[in-house]
Amino acid sequence: MLACQTCLDIRDVAARAGVSYQTVSRVLNDRPDVAEETRQHVKQVITELEYRPNRAAKSLAGRESRVLGAIVQGFNYFGPAQLVAEAEHAASEAGYDLLVDSVCDGSVDQLGAAIDQMDGWSVDGILINVVVPHTLLSRISHIPIVQTEIRASDDNVTAVYVDQAHAIRQAVEHLIDIGHTVIGEISGPLNWFGARVRHHTWQTTLEQHGFRLGPHSESNWTVDGGYQAAMQLLATGKPFTALVIGNDEMAIGAIHALQDQGFNVPGDVSVVGMDDIPLAAHMRPPLTTVRQDFRFFGSEAIRYLLELIKAPDSEPEQRAVLPELIIRESTAPPP
């Protein structure tokens, strides 16, 4: 017998039983997808070790853990970080803890490991800000999930999401409304789902209005990345009078690059960002951007997740949060 049963976790039980920690989690949650012989063996080991699940694992009686999970890509960037901060606050207000697992690239292997981790923690529900294949979601079909990045065809998932297409459409149409016809773009990395949606919407909005595409450069969400991307666009020699940029950090870098090369913003080139970070209003010039209400977004996602915990068999909904165009001084009619 171990000296400190309360110090044990399900990995200790799994090691003694010779099974995976996911299997122990399934036994703790009385899941049906465990062979009866394995179930009895794991329960015997739990008894021998006098294992008592802590708050991060539900008890054998199936009580709530009062813990929520979040699988997050891009935790070091403003948008995802704000989402998690607001979700954590909303969860705390409701009496829950929030455990966060950050994934770097959203690959199947990373997502699978994060999903298995959440299952091992026996959380009551999971918030996910990256598109997850249905084959992976099926592993945790017993856990309520709210996604914040979804495909247009995902009408069978439970989601609260920012309408990224609406966001970019507002930005492009604002520039068209004030007279621009050659509108370039600096997108985020196109291996990100949200960046692809924004990029595609930039293309289709211009095409729908009968304009050819301006030049495009792909960057990495950072200020330095925005600077380098703008320099690349200028180096091509292709004309543009306006830029739609995938987030405010890249927009700040792009404005710096344009000014370094002798361009006036907005006199020569108008710039629209995305997110409305606190610095955006204090730029020179103040940045026109599309505001995402992360406070509402995070709290609404947690609110829906708690609804699903109480009523897991309810019909799936996709609740859209519409961003708002904030017009400041970085946009003006073309020269």
End-to-end CA distance of the chain: 80
Q: What is the pLDDT of residue 47?
A: 81
Q: Is the pLDDT of residue 64 over 80?
A: no
Q: What are phi and psi of 106, to 5 degrees?
A: 70, 20
State both tokens at 85: 């901060």
Q: Which helix (H) or strand (E) holds 245?
A: strand 242-245
Query: What is the overall mean pLDDT for the chain?
Result: 87
Q: What is the pLDDT of residue 3?
A: 35
| CB-based burial label for 245 (10 Å; 0-12, 13-18, 19+) | buried
What confidence tens digit (pLDDT) does each residue in 96-126 have? Answer: 888 888 888 778 888 888 888 888 777 899 9
Q: Is the pLDDT of residue 56 over 70?
A: no
The CA distances from residue 84 to 19, 20, 116, 247, 302, in Å, are 33, 29, 20, 18, 10
User: What average pLDDT does this structure show over 308-329?
Assistant: 92
Choose among 330, 323, 326, 327: nearest CA to 79. 323
User: What average pLDDT does this structure show over 313-327?
Assistant: 92
State both tokens at 167: 């966001």
Q: Find out whether 120 and 25 touch, Cβ atoms under 8 Å.
A: yes
What number does CATH give the domain 67-162+294-321?
3.40.50.2300
**CATH topology (fold) of 164-292:** Rossmann fold (3.40.50)
- Domain residue spans of the chain: 5-49, 67-162+294-321, 164-292
Q: Is 151 helix (H, G, I), strand (E, B) or coil?
A: coil
Q: What are phi and psi of 258, to 5 degrees?
A: -60, -45
State both tokens at 265: 């913003």
Q: Is-same-fold flag (5-49; 67-162+294-321)? A: no
pTM (predicted TM-score) = 0.76
Helix boundaries (H) for the chain: 10-17, 21-28, 36-49, 78-93, 108-121, 134-137, 164-177, 193-208, 223-236, 248-260, 294-310
Query: Between 1.10.260.40, 1.10.10.10, 3.40.50.11900, 3.30.930.10, what CATH number should domain 5-49 receive?
Result: 1.10.260.40
DSSP string covering 23-74: HHHHHHTT-SSS-HHHHHHHHHHHHHHT----TTS--TT-----EEEEEEE-
What confidence tens digit (pLDDT) does each residue in 242-272 have? Answer: 999 999 999 999 999 999 999 999 999 999 9
State both tokens at 239: 């004309």
Choose among 45, 51, 102: nearest CA to 72. 102
Q: Binning pLDDT at 50, 70 and 90, where does residue 9 land?
A: low
Give the percent of the chain with pLDDT over 70: 89
